């Protein structure tokens, strides 16, 4: 079993052979992947060395200390946090070798084509159709709320292949080429003024059967694995104490004593304690991931993340008083990534509203926690065994 000391030795040996300052960035990242120092817990040949997942931070810290280039994870969050573990878990060996390396190096970015105008929280109700024609599938439909679709090279996609089956059983999972002529991306403006989201129209888009992930009809099960990984990626990030939103507000509190009031002090302390509890819980979740696939615990982490972001961003505006009411971050741009901590207080407040929708709405996550974690009775579902084509829409 590889331990931390051996990993550090491997990284230092790699750096002695690949000078970060004198090596082309992309060549450096490709070599790091091939050396098994990308995702250390992935299999040999796919960016890893079958090491414990918990040792990833050891590798990342060693590379960061030398100023080595990273793979700019903020521009490919969906690929790294959702597509990669899904392809690893359900893809063929050919699919793994084709997609994982350029995904990790950032040569190919990804988006997620799941939600639809009539199937947001109820993903299984989606109506995008995929009809097989020989060795290809022809897709028609509309997806919505798609982050990064305007920059993505590939997409993970779920479509209906058996309309006569119950809605959960008639879905199939695909890897979609976003450059296909049948794929059209249109921007959606949000409350911040930006358009990080998109709507995507599929009109006769063609996907080779070789880009089908898993068996026909297994789309729901694979999609659930993807969403569990997404919730872990959103809510279970690796952060140090007093980083993120609570760190910004705490620093403002220290630097601007004229803003302090006793009531605000008590609220800040409560938010600080809740943030620390969420951080420690996320650390425990990451340790559990070492032993297997993510479970429903990721839903709790994501739910806490959304709630705290909204509470802290609201507190920040109240703390700043009149200054907090100004919004000078308005711009009609299409960002390649979303980073709350580097933006203005007004932007953080507005953008945090989306945290309770993206990655699964907070209402749905509460249902998951109630049923799968607490063991409470499930809500009645009268449409579970009814053929999808017979459901009212």
For the chain, the 3-state helix, strand and coil shares in percent, each to the nearest 5, are 50, 15, 35
Cβ neighbours of 89 (radius 10 Å): 15
Contact (CB, 8 A) for 56 and 104: no
Question: Which ranges of the chain would DSSP assign to H, the alpha helix?
Answer: 4-17, 25-34, 56-65, 77-78, 84-90, 93-105, 219-235, 244-255, 262-289, 297-320, 322-325, 345-351, 362-368
Contact (CB, 8 A) for 112 and 173: no
Phi-psi region of 142 (alpha: psi -120 to 50; beta: other; left: phi over 0): beta
Cα–Cα separations (whole angstroms), residue 195 to 108, 148, 191: 21, 9, 9
Selection from 342, 301, 348 nearest residue 320 by Cα:
348
Burial of 206 (0-12, 13-18, 19+ CB in 10 A): middle
Identified catalytic residue from 108, 230, 297, 316:
230
Q: Which residues make Cβ contacts (< 8 Å) with residue 39, sequence separation at least 6?
A: 46, 47, 48, 56, 84, 104
Got the DSSP string for 208-248? EGGGEESSTT-HHHHHHHHHHHHHHHHHS----TT-HHHHH
Cα–Cα separations (whole angstroms), residue 314 to 106, 330, 361: 34, 18, 19
Pairing of strands 171-177, 183-188: unpaired
Which position has the token pair 């809605």? Answer: 167
Contact (CB, 8 A) for 149 and 155: yes
Q: How far apart are CA 335 and CA 194, in angstroms?
A: 7
Question: Which ranges of 18-69 would DSSP assign to H, the alpha helix?
Answer: 25-34, 56-65
Contact (CB, 8 A) for 194 and 331: yes
251 in catalytic set: no
CA-derived radius of gyration, the chain: 22
Q: How far apart are CA 329 and CA 317, in angstroms?
A: 14
Q: Which residues are catalytic?
A: 230
């Amino acid at each position: 079993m590889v331990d931390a000391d051996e990993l550090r030795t491997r990284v230092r040996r790699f750096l002695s052979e690949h000078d970060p300052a004198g090596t082309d960035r992309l060549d450096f990242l490709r070599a790091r992947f091939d050396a098994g120092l990308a995702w250390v817990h992935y299999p040999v040949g796919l960016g890893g060395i079958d090491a414990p997942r918990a040792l990833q931070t050891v590798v990342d810290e060693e590379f960061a200390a030398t100023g080595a280039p990273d793979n700019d994870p903020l521009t490919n969050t969906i690929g790294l946090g959702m597509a990669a573990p899904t392809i690893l878990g359900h893809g063929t060996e050919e699919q793994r070798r084709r997609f994982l390396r350029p995904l990790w190096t950032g040569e190919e970015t990804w988006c997620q084509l799941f939600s639809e105008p009539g199937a947001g929280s109820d993903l299984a109700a989606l109506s995008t159709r995929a009809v097989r024609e020989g060795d290809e599938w022809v897709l028609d439909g509309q997806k919505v709320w798609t982050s990064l679709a305007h920059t993505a090279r590939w997409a993970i996609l779920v479509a209906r292949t058996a309309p006569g089956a119950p809605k959960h059983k008639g879905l199939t999972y695909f890897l979609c080429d976003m450059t296909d002529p049948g794929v059209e991306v249109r921007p959606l403006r949000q409350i911040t003024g930006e358009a990080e989201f998109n709507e995507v129209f599929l009109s006769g888009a063609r996907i080779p059967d070789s880009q089908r992930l898993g068996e026909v009809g297994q789309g729901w099960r694979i999609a659930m694995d993807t969403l569990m990984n997404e919730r872990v990626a959103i809510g279970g990030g690796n952060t140090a104490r007093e980083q993120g939103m609570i760190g910004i507000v705490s620093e403002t509190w220290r630097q601007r004593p004229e803003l302090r009031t006793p009531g605000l002090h008590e609220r800040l302390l409560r938010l600080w304690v809740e943030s620390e509890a969420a951080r420690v819980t996320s650390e425990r979740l990451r340790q559990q991931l070492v032993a297997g696939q993510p479970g429903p615990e990721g839903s709790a982490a994501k739910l806490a993340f959304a709630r705290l972001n909204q509470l802290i961003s609201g507190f920040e505006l109240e703390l700043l008083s009149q200054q907090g009411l100004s919004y000078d971050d308005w711009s009609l741009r299409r960002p390649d990534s979303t980073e709350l901590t580097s933006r203005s207080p007004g932007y953080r407040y507005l953008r945090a509203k989306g945290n309770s929708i993206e990655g699964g709405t907070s209402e749905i996550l509460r249902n998951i926690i109630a049923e799968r974690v607490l063991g409470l009775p499930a809500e009645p579902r009268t449409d579970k065994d009814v053929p999808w084509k017979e459901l009212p829409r």
